[in-house]
Amino acid sequence: MRIGQPGDSTAVDLDRIDLFTPSLYAAGDPHTLWKALRERAPVHRQLLPDGRAFWSVTRYHDVNEVLRDHTRFTSAKGTLLSILGTDDPAGGTMMAASDPPVHTALREPMGKMLSHRALRDRAPEIRAVVRRMTAPLLDGGVWDIAASAAAFPMAFTGTLMGLPERHWRRLTKLTTMAVAPSDAEFQEGGGESTLSVAHHELFAYFSDQVRARSGRPRPAADQEDLIDFLMRMEAGGRRLRHEEIVYNCYSLLLGANVTTPHAIAAMVLALIEHPDQYRRLLADPALIPGAVEEGLRWSSPANHFMRYAVRDLELGGRQIAAGDALVTWLGSANRDEEAFTDPYRFDVARRPNRHVAFGFGPHYCIGAPLARLSLGLLFEELTSLIEEFTVAGPIEHLESNFTAGIKHLPLTAVLRPGSAQRIERTVAATGPAPVLEPA
């Protein structure tokens, strides 16, 4: 999705706004539409040609209100526009598609497994992955950082979940297919077929993983991976059922794979477009954690999350009927002039920066500690290795109404003194990183 200054919002015809069609996010400019909605219709109803409808919620405070209050806005019927109007089969079973108390019972133990404390020791592993990713820069060649970034989360979530490396490429592609089924580059058959292949293959894959582990002796607690943990953990006083484990594995993998890469690509592009901001990071690495937060606000990789109204209610001056779908546009909330000073300025030292890229309320991203850790390490490594980046080819955006993504960002870079030797040593020790190729 294009990220920059919005066009003329006063010229937008509200009756013609279409935030559903994925091609908008590949070739259009949602930021201009979101700005127009925030100004003139902050809670706006869109009717689709097939009769389905949803409310778009675009202001920061309304987005927070919807995400915060599960008693009025439920997640249990599904949270993604791609399944608008169909009850999510994982509703009430998968953490992301459930409400308290089921949600709380699932979330508490899983949160411990993904906490800062639990992840602390993984830093060296993630650093090595970053250096392996940068190997194409050694010969002064073009590096498609977006394609490499697509494989990045798999390289540590795969280990965390105990998934064999030979499966990573396919799993990466399947997760992209699940959120961008109409993007021709990732299609297998038409759009519907792509979505169905992605869902079936991912569920079958995790089902097999769980079955294979059932026949093995249980590992010691300090040896177990995330799937072992899900098989052992209790929620509401009982062990999880097979399908509950499978759905939550799916959700964890999807959560990591379809978001983190796009924060990377968009942030690198922002730093290329704002070289003064990159120079600030080079001069003062202590700015990196704040820069990551600004990168998250700027990119808002998860474009939206949806809820359904539990009862008749009012929001932003509009009457919402029980059962209506409401879509919170996180990218819009993160540019709301009432919540952020000069929101279209990319500022690595922005403070305060209470962005909603990880959501808000009970479903606040459970992977945020892992995402922050890996993005922080990635930008520490990139700034220590690279003096300057230049775009070296056409930038291509993902066709998805869920993931605000860049799928290709070819660049060349000037390495800092000593970087080539550091990258070479890592590649010699570990081999090149798995990159996304047709699988």
Residues that bind ligand HEM (CB under 6 A): 67, 75, 79, 95-96, 107, 114, 153, 157, 251-252, 255-256, 259-260, 263, 301-302, 305, 330, 357-359, 363, 365-367, 370-371
Closest CA to 226 of 113, 372, 369: 113
> Residue 230: CB partners within 8 Å, gap ≥ 6?
110, 240, 245, 248, 249
Minimum gap (Å) between residue 105 Cβ and ligand HEM: 11
Considering beta carbons, is residue 136 or 295 the nearer one to ligand HEM? 295
Neighbour-count burial of 111, counting CB atoms closer than 10 A to its CB (0-12 exposed, 13-18 middle, 19+ buried): middle
Residue whose token pair is 């860049």? 406
DSSP state of 319: E
Cis peptide before 352 (omega within 30 of 0): yes
Residues 266, 3 contacting (CB under 8 angstroms): yes
In the bound state with ligand HEM, the residue whose beta carbon lies nearer, of 31 and 297, is 297
| Number of other residues whose CB lies within 10 A of the CB of residue 57 | 31
Minimum CB separation from ligand HEM for residue 56, in Å?
16
| CA-derived radius of gyration, the chain | 21
CB of 260 to ligand HEM, least distance (A): 4
Tokens matching residue 29: 């400019």
Residue 71 beta carbon to ligand HEM: minimum distance, rounded to whole angstroms:
15
Least distance in angstroms from the C-beta of 302 to ligand HEM? 4
**Buried residues in 210-235 as b, exposed as e (16+ CB within 10 A):** beebeeeeeeeeeebbbbbbbbebeb
CB of 356 to ligand HEM, least distance (A): 7
CB of 330 to ligand HEM, least distance (A): 6
CA–CA distances in Å: residue 243 to residues 39, 214, 232, 395 = 44, 14, 14, 39
Alpha carbons 165 and 427: distance in angstroms, whole number: 17
Q: Which is nearer to ligand HEM, 84 or 137 (CB)?
A: 84
Q: Shortest distance, CB of residue 402 to ligand HEM, whole angstroms?
A: 10
Residue number with CB closer to ligand HEM (94 or 433): 94
Q: Residue with the closest Cβ to ligand HEM?
A: 367
Residue among 34 and 36 whose Cβ is closer to ligand HEM: 34
Min CB(292)–ligand HEM separation in Å: 9
Contact 163, 174 (CB under 8 A): no
135 vs 256, beta carbon nearer ligand HEM: 256
Query: Of the two residues 366 and 386, which places its CB atom closer to ligand HEM in the complex?
Result: 366
Q: How far apart (Å, rounded) are the C-alpha atoms in residues 282 and 277?
A: 9
Q: What span, in angstroms and rounded, lies between the C-alpha atoms of 183 and 84?
A: 19
Between 176 and 419, whose beta carbon lies closer to ligand HEM?
176
Nearer to ligand HEM, 28 or 111 (CB): 111
